[in-house]
Structures are given as C-alpha cells and as structure tokens.
Amino acid sequence: MPQKRIWFVTGASRGFGRLWSEAALARGDKVAATARNIDDLADVLATYGDNVLAQTVDVTDRSAVFNAVAVAHRHFGRIDVVVSGAGYGYMGAVEELDIDAVRANFETNVFGSLSVIQAVLPVLRQQGSGHILTVSSIGGILSFPTGGAYTATKFAVEAFSEALAGEVAGFGIKVTIIEPGSFATGFGASAITGPSIDAYDVVRQAVRAGFKPADQGDPSATAAAILNVVDAEEPPLRLVLGATTIPRFRDAYEQRIKTWEQWEDVSIAAHGTR
C-alpha cells in the first residue's frame, strides 16, 4: 500500500490539476490545492474537508506562490509531491503574435512554474525527498504552425525541468516531465487567440483539421498514470500521456536524425581545423 502523501498542486480547479488532485484525495492523500479563484474548489473542500488546504494563488505573483508553499508546509508538516499544472495556450502565427500576450503566456507557463519550483526546493532539500511533476505537452517536443508561442513555453519547461533533474537528484528529489497528448479537457476551446492575418488562414485551417476529436483521450484515465508514476521507486524523467503521442514523437525524431545525418558532412566541416 503506497504511503500517504502531501501534494502541492497549482491549477487545481480544472483540467488535469483538478483530476489529479481528486485522485490523490480519493485514495487518502492530502492536497494543498491552489487556484486563481478559490470558489472553484468549494465542492472539493466539501467532499474532502481537512484533507484539502485551498488557497487563492496566481502563479504570476511570485510572492503569493512562496507564501502558499510556506502556508502548506506549516499546515501539513511536509510536501511530498509538487504538481506545477497552472498554464494556458496563446495561439497565432508568429507574425500575428502580440508581444505582450506572448510575455503573459511565458509569465504563467514558464516563470510561474519556475517560481513554484524555487519555492518548494528548500523544503524538499531539507526533507531529503520529494517529487516534482512539471506539466509540459506534446507541444514541449513538437511545435506546429500557429502554436509557436505556446509550444515555446513548453519547450522552456522541458529544458529547465531536465536541468533541474540533474541538479537535485543528489538531494533525493525526483523530477518527472508530464507530456500529455490530445485530451478532451477543453484546453483548445479555452486557448487565447489574437487578431488574425488572412494570409495565414489556409495553414490555420490545415492545423485545425489535423486535430481530430477521435484522437482525443479520456482525461479521467490519466489519474491512474499519475498515481503510478508518483508511487514508482524510480520514476521516469518523462511520462507521455495518451496513445497517439509516442508514434508522433518517434516519427519526428526519426526525421530529425535523418536530417542531421544528411547534413553531417557540412556539420563536421563547420568544426574547422586547428
């Protein structure tokens, strides 16, 4: 029987954050759940009572993040699992992107996650244990037309999470990057888009046509996977969620290797001689 754990979850009011928080609570774990609007967690509080500590947190407010971690640590005495799940999509062709909207997307998806990690690390180092789950996406490995800003945030999350894993392994802290594929979470409908340029409508429609509802996974099925990875003695650095994602990753990496090999002579020549 897995030991009871204390979770700290951002973005706990909806989507994966909500599902995974409820799965942890349902098996008897305790959760410090944060959301931009604490009222969205009222039913969770009503169901699980003292096993939930709900706090209003906007992850772009760095001081609020640090305070929420401190409150959770004082309340529960420890933190075992950290899920940095707060995030959203900002979509548009690169030429269409509003620079301030791109900055805002990075503030939440990248710098918000960084604040969460930096806030919890002193606690986890002192404990000599802990598991950080950063939520990336299929877009953390593969970009696509009209998704450049959002996928850039997820590429960044992948990069600093991979670095983090090497930095904290010696402290007994584990890191797993969660890479969900397409799921019926309503993410696409909630994504923000700015004014469009007609010249990109053809490519935009082609991208939309490539996202088929039949390929979407059941979000509720991901909860068991998250509990599985949290309970593992040696969890993976990366965990893909969904059946359609790994084949796409495989195809993409095969193409990348093929391209690198085709241009290898040029690459080697660029090394020069000394």
Q: Residue 93's pLDDT is what?
A: 97
- Contact between 6 and 80 under an 8 Å Cβ cutoff? The reply is yes
On the 0-12 / 13-18 / 19+ scale of CB atoms within 10 A, 128 is exposed
Residue 19 pLDDT level (bands cut at 50, 70, 90): very high
pLDDT at 139: 96
Lowest mean pLDDT among 25-34, 154-163, 193-202, 208-217: 208-217
Give the span between the Cα atoms of 198 and 36, in whole angstroms. Answer: 35
* Residue 2, pLDDT above cutoff 70: no
Distance CA 237, CA 220 (A): 22
Give the strand pairing for 6-10 and 192-193. unpaired
pLDDT(274) > 60: yes
Residues near 40 by Cβ (< 8 Å), separated by ≥ 6? 13, 14
How does pLDDT run across 221-264, given as a tens digit for each residue?
A: 999 999 999 999 999 999 999 999 999 999 999 999 999 999 99
pTM for the model stands at 0.95
Interatomic CA distance for residues 169 and 189, integer angstroms: 38
The Cα–Cα gap between 76 and 99 comes to 41
Of 113, 137, 154, 174, which residue is the catalytic one?
Answer: 154
213 pLDDT band, cuts 50/70/90, is: confident
Q: What is the pLDDT of residues 48-92, one digit of tens each?
A: 999 999 999 999 999 999 999 999 999 999 999 999 999 999 999
Listed by start position, the domains of the chain span 6-245
Which residue in 90, 113, 150, 161 is the catalytic one?
150
Can 150 be counted among the known catalytic residues? yes
Residue range 115-173, pLDDT digits in tens: 999 999 999 999 999 999 999 999 999 999 999 999 999 999 999 999 999 999 999 99
Q: What is the DSSP letter of 169?
A: G
pLDDT at 184 over 90: no
113, 136, 161, 182: the catalytic one is 136
Do the beta carbons of residue 57 and residue 35 sit within 8 Å?
A: yes
For residue 136, indicate whether it is catalytic. yes
pLDDT in tens, 22-55: 999 999 999 999 999 999 999 999 999 999 999 9
Grade residue 3 by pLDDT with cuts at 50, 70 and 90.
Answer: confident
- 167-to-83, 92, 159, 177, 197 alpha-carbon distances in Å: 18, 35, 13, 15, 43
pLDDT at 189 over 80: no
* pLDDT computed for residue 76 by the predictor: 97
CATH domain 6-245 topology: Rossmann fold (3.40.50)
Read off the pLDDT band of 212 (50, 70, 90): confident
Is residue 21 part of the annotated active site? The answer reads no
Residue type, 154: K
